[in-house]
């Protein structure tokens, strides 16, 4: 199990996401951003837009995804 924060994933806060894989924390971040924006949290709105925009531009999305996977791999196990 490893931990990455919302801010490590491009968001504005330090909420921790835990997972066995980078995909686990990326999916947790996606859920967190959706929930925060739905609750009216404007600070997370830009991060949510950025995440949605990435997937419209596959080359940039893959760069972010690979960077995130690399950062996750470098984290110590908990």
**For 6-51, how does the pLDDT look when each residue is reduced to its tens digit (9 = 90+)?**
999 999 999 999 999 999 999 999 999 999 999 999 999 999 998 8
pTM of the model: 0.89
Question: Could you tell me the residue ranges of all domains in the chain?
Answer: 2-74
DSSP state letters, the chain: -EEEETGGGT-SS--EEEESSHHHHHHHHHHHHHHHHHTT-HHHHHHHHHHHHHTTSHHHHHHHHHHHHHHHHHSPP-
- Above 90 in pLDDT, residue 60? no
pLDDT band per the 50, 70, 90 thresholds, residue 68: very high
């Amino acid at each position: 199990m490893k931990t990455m924060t919302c801010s490590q994933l491009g968001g504005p806060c330090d909420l921790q996401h835990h997972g066995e894989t980078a995909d686990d924390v990326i999916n947790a971040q996606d859920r967190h951003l959706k929930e925060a924006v739905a609750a009216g949290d404007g600070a997370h709105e830009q991060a949510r837009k950025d995440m949605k925009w990435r997937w419209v531009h596959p080359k940039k999305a893959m760069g972010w995804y690979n960077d995130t996977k690399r950062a996750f791999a470098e984290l110590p196990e908990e």
